[in-house]
Amino acid sequence: MRADPADYRLVSPGNLQAVLSLMAAEPAQWLPIAGGTDVMVLYSAGKLANRKLINIWNIQELRQIEVFPESMRIGAACTYTALREHEVVAREFPLLATAASWTGGIANQNRGTLGGNIANASPAADSLPALLVYDAELTLISERGERCVAYRTFHTGYKQTALAPDELIRSISLPRRFSGYFSHARKVGARNAQAISKVCLAGLGQIAGGAIRDVRLALGSVAPVPLRLSETEHMLVGKQIEPSLMEIVKKRVTQEISPIDDIRSTARYRTAVAANLVAECMEKLAAAGAKA
């Protein structure tokens, strides 16, 4: 344990308004801590620069999951376990439920939160590609009020987000229009559980009349931010899925991504696997389309 608890303040205002007030009074001073599965690791390693933390684990407004006819709204402090156990998430947003089951072991799923994962903004985070393909929308809140941003625009650079210094993520909204989609997710890590991803794919697709009507692909760990493969998607729409197309798709994927070498893996490996995962996803989409 390489940090001195005496050097850190952790305040618990207890309700959302009080949290936002403090954050407005001292912008960028207070680091929100929910389940702590990222913050506490840094802290224990002696690498947490922020000395002032504000507890949002106990803020009930942030822990609700609300289901409306057209959308679902997930409170930012909902845990991965809560997501996995929610009937509508499991049924209509399987990519998110699956990603939640990949994020650490059960103990960490019981504490880790979706909002925390988003705000931590690691490009390797497992749930972020799912949010990209589900066209998630974030509600950000401060004392000044609420605003909605398309999740696609939220990550502005490596570990940079659109959050203002006095803002919290309040909720994540997902439109309920993907039930009829084929969905496929795959994570590649150093082992089957408790692994930071080397590459992570979330994919949705629809086939009509033998051709791709809609396809949505997002990857983690291949760029400074979680990446929606817009160019690859654009190229795929309207096409029939066949072997010759797969080679073209792989090439397009490799051009659209920019992975790096790091302590876990290499850029070359990530590039190859990312392309392979997309091709595999397309093959499964084709097989599902053929059955439909």
Partner 1 sequence: MPRKEGWDKVTGAARYVDDMVLPGMIYGATVRSNVPRGKIRKITFDRSIAWDEYFIVTAKDIPGKNCIALILEDQPCLAAETVNHAEEPVLLLAHADRHKLRKAVEAVEIEYQPLPSVHSIEESEQKSAIIWGADNILKSYLVQKGDVDAVWKEAAHIVEGEYFTGAQEQLYIENNGVIAAFDAANGLTVWGSLQCPYYVHKALMALCALPEQRVRVVQMETGGAFGGKEEYPSMIAGHAALLAIKSGRPVKIVYDRMEDMVATTKRHPSRTRHRTAVSKDGKILGGEIEFTIDGGAYATLSSVVLSRGTIHAGGPYFWPSVRIRTKAVATNTPPHSAFRGFGAPQSLFAMERHMDRIAQVVGISPVEIRRRNFLKQGQTTTTEQTIREKLDLHALLDRALELSDYHAKKERFAEENKKGMRKKGIGIAAFLHGAGFTGSGERYLNSLVGVEAGADGCARVLVSSAEFGQGTNTVLCQIAAEALALPYENVAIAQPDTTVVPNSGPTVASRTAMIVGKLVQSAARGIKETLAKSGLLGREYTAEQFRTACAEYISKHETLKSYARYEAPADVYWDDEKYRGEAYAAFAWAVYVAEITVDLTTYSVTVDDFVAVQEIGKVLHPVLAAGQITGGVAQAIGFALYEKVVWQNGRMINNQMTNYIMPTSADLPPIRVFFEELGNVHGAHGAKGIGELPMDGPAPAIVNAVEDAIGVRFCSIPLLPEDLFEALKSFEWDAPSSVRGAA
Partner 2 sequence: MKSSTETTAKCEILFTVNGEAVKVLAHPMERLLDVLRNELGLTGAKEGCGEGECGSCAVLLDGMLVNSCLVPVAQIGGANIVTIEGVSAHALIKLLQEAFLECGGTQCGICTPGMILAAVHLLEKQAEPALAEIREGLSGNLCRCTGYMQIFEAVERAAQRRVAQ
Binding site residues, partner 1, CB under 8 A: 1-6, 41, 45-46, 105, 188, 190-196, 250-251, 254-255, 258-259, 261, 263-269, 271-273, 275-277, 280
Q: By the 8 A CB rule, do 21 and 141 touch? A: no
Contact partner, 110, from partner 2, partner 1, none, Cβ < 5-8 Å per class: partner 2
Exactly one of 12, 29, 50, 139 binds partner 2 (CB under 8 A); that residue is 12
H/E stretch holding 200: strand 199-208
Closer residue to partner 2, CB minimum distance, 111 or 176: 111
Q: By the 8 A CB rule, do 65 and 82 touch? A: yes
Asked if 41 interacts with partner 2 (CB under 8 A), we say yes
Residue 203 burial class via C-beta count within 10 angstroms: exposed 0-12, middle 13-18, buried 19 and up: buried
3-state helix, strand, coil in the chain (%, to 5): 35, 25, 35
Closer residue to partner 1, CB minimum distance, 179 or 258: 258
Which tokens in the block code for residue 197? 């991803």
Q: By the 8 A CB rule, do 126 and 200 touch? A: yes
Closer residue to partner 1, CB minimum distance, 58 or 158: 158
Contact partner, 195, from partner 2, partner 1, none, Cβ < 5-8 Å per class: partner 1
Closer residue to partner 1, CB minimum distance, 6 or 49: 6
Closer residue to partner 2, CB minimum distance, 35 or 289: 35
Four-residue CA torsion sign, 216, 95, 112, 79: positive
- Nearest distance in Å: CB 126, partner 1: 14
Closer residue to partner 2, CB minimum distance, 23 or 229: 23
Contact partner, 28, from partner 2, partner 1, none, Cβ < 5-8 Å per class: none
Give the interface size with partner 2 as a residue count (CB under 8 A): 35
Interface of this chain with partner 2, residues 46 to 65, rule: CB under 8 A: 53, 55, 57-58
- Nearest distance in Å: CB 46, partner 2: 10
Asked if 106 interacts with partner 2 (CB under 8 A), we say yes
Exactly one of 29, 50, 110, 206 binds partner 2 (CB under 8 A); that residue is 110
Q: Which residues pair with residue 79 across a beta bridge? A: 113
Phi-psi label, residue 280: left if phi above 0, alpha if psi -120 to 50, beta otherwise: alpha
- Nearest distance in Å: CB 227, partner 2: 27
Contact partner, 273, from partner 2, partner 1, none, Cβ < 5-8 Å per class: partner 1
Q: By the 8 A CB rule, do 216 and 203 touch? A: yes
H/E stretch holding 74: strand 71-75
Using CA atoms, how far apart are residues 234 and 50, in angstroms rounded to an integer? 42
